[in-house]
Amino acid sequence: MTILDLDLFFDDGERKGPPSVKVYEAKASTALSKSSLPGLDFCLNPYIGCEHGCIYCFAPDVVRRQRETWSSEVGYRSNIPVLLNRELRTKRGTIGIGTVTDPYQPLERLLLLTRKCLLEIARHDNPISILTKSDLVLRDIELIRSTARPEVGVTITTMDADLASRIEPKASPPVARVETLRRLADSGIECYAMVGPVLPFLEQQEIRELLGAIAATGCKRVMADRLRMRPGLEMAFLTANIVRSKGVLSDPYRAEMSVRLVRDECTRMGMRFETAF
């Protein structure tokens, strides 16, 4: 399939332009892979690569893909709903959707692959846990509600829209993510905010503002994850002028204090605090 073919897809009657990434079809051999993540029995990733393009993304290292093309070339596993239909007859357990790529990245608006997977899952009683940085998840809110024990996490790392646009360029802006969390909380779906990574260069006031915005949605649970360092990450932040001096990202004391502040603010605001992984 070519990029031009994709331009023919419609979403809610609205014509969308072609995707800004190179798109390729990738046939999957299995839909559900065994998970080693806590609380998840299986992983389901309809896409390979992720257009959101987060500067701190460590997913390509986890799945041994090229970092250079991770956010510019996205594969879609076209046969995954069919495989899922077959595998769900025997595989029982909690399914993590979007463990290494965002299941609601921009391409999903055109391809509806995550939605097709949810349609299959809704016919069975497997609990699901979705993690996203996109308000597109709201498109499927009723479908998600129809599955057995759904949970949705929304990642929000900062309320600074300019900073977010530089570190998570194609994800929904922070205000839209907060609104997504509010609508999920209102709908009664079990939801949580993923503050991950906790950015060690944020000022105390910025962390308080972030947690305050999350608390105001009615969400009662926050999961925090530390920034995972990798070669070249510090230089990427320096080059983008997000931090100005070396060592800010890798200072363990600073990282620890930031996570502690998230925890303390959660306690103060009456939200449950957890650490990821």
Q: Which residues bind ligand SF4 (CB under 6 A)?
A: 50, 52-54, 57, 59, 71, 101-102, 133
CB of 272 to ligand SF4, least distance (A): 23
CB of 50 to ligand SF4, least distance (A): 3
The Cα-based distances of 216 to 4, 37, 191, 265 in angstroms read 42, 29, 14, 13
Q: Considering beta carbons, is residue 57 or 189 the nearer one to ligand SF4?
A: 57
Q: Considering beta carbons, is residue 73 or 87 the nearer one to ligand SF4?
A: 73
CA torsion sign for 247, 252, 253, 258 is positive
CB of 13 to ligand SF4, least distance (A): 27
Q: Considering beta carbons, is residue 54 or 118 the nearer one to ligand SF4?
A: 54
Q: Considering beta carbons, is residue 191 or 227 the nearer one to ligand SF4?
A: 227
CB atoms within 10 A of CB 244: 9
Q: Considering beta carbons, is residue 32 or 57 the nearer one to ligand SF4?
A: 57
* Strand ranges inside the chain, DSSP E: 10-11, 14-15, 22-25, 33-34, 42-44, 47-48, 73-76, 95-97, 128-132, 150-155, 190-195, 221-224, 272-275
CB of 235 to ligand SF4, least distance (A): 18
CA-wise closest residue to 211 among 267, 256, 164: 267
CB of 175 to ligand SF4, least distance (A): 17
Q: How far apart are CA 222 and CA 214, in angstroms?
A: 8
Which two structure tokens, joined as six digits, stand for 123? 């016919």
CB of 169 to ligand SF4, least distance (A): 9
- Residue 83: CA atoms inside 13 Å, Cβ hemisphere, count? 15
Q: Considering beta carbons, is residue 99 or 147 the nearer one to ligand SF4?
A: 99
Q: How far apart are CA 60 and CA 11, in angstroms?
A: 29
